[in-house]
Amino acid sequence: MSAQIGATAAAVASVVRAGFEKRAGIFVALAVAAMLLGGCATQTVPLVGTDPADPGAKVAGVGYRSTVAPYTSLRPTTPSGWKEQNQRAAPSSKSGHEH
């Protein structure tokens, strides 16, 4: 009995496989035809504005603004004495009281 089930399963599988291969071949052929004919389609949407392929088309001017324009060098300098640094950092004495 198991031999009969095995033979039936093999027969059904061969029929299904043959049908699948035939359908897969048709699908591949349709996909290739669609890709080949897709390149022949005309443009359906008209361009809005100027044609980007036109070298004489008017365009906005191009500007350049440097990202490092206000650069000032912060390289280390020779150290000065602490008294001079203290005098530069101290508030100005405009009230007349000097310490």
Give the total number of structural domains in the chain. Answer: 1
Instruction: Examine residue 6 and state whether it is found in any structural domain, yes or no.
Output: yes
pLDDT digits (tens, 9 = 90+) for 7-43: 777 766 666 666 667 777 888 888 888 877 777 777 6
Instruction: Examine residue 59 and state whether it is found in any structural domain, yes or no.
Output: no
Instruction: Examine residue 1 and state whether it is found in any structural domain, yes or no.
Output: yes
- Label residue 99 by pLDDT band (50, 70, 90): low
Report the pLDDT value the prediction gives residue 50, as an integer from 0 to 100: 82
Provide the CB-side half-sphere exposure for 79 (13 A, CA).
3
Q: Which residues lie closer than 8 Å to 58 by C-beta, 6 or more apart?
A: 50
Q: Which residues lie closer than 8 Å to 57 by C-beta, 6 or more apart?
A: 50, 51
Report the pLDDT value the prediction gives residue 98, as an integer from 0 to 100: 53
Exposure string (b/e) for 20-29, b if CB count within 10 Å is 16 or more?
Answer: eeeeeeeeee
Structural domain boundaries, residue 22? 1-40
Instruction: Examine residue 5 and state whether it is found in any structural domain, yes or no.
Output: yes
Instruction: Examine residue 52 and state whether it is found in any structural domain, yes or no.
Output: no
Instruction: Examine residue 10 and state whether it is found in any structural domain, yes or no.
Output: yes
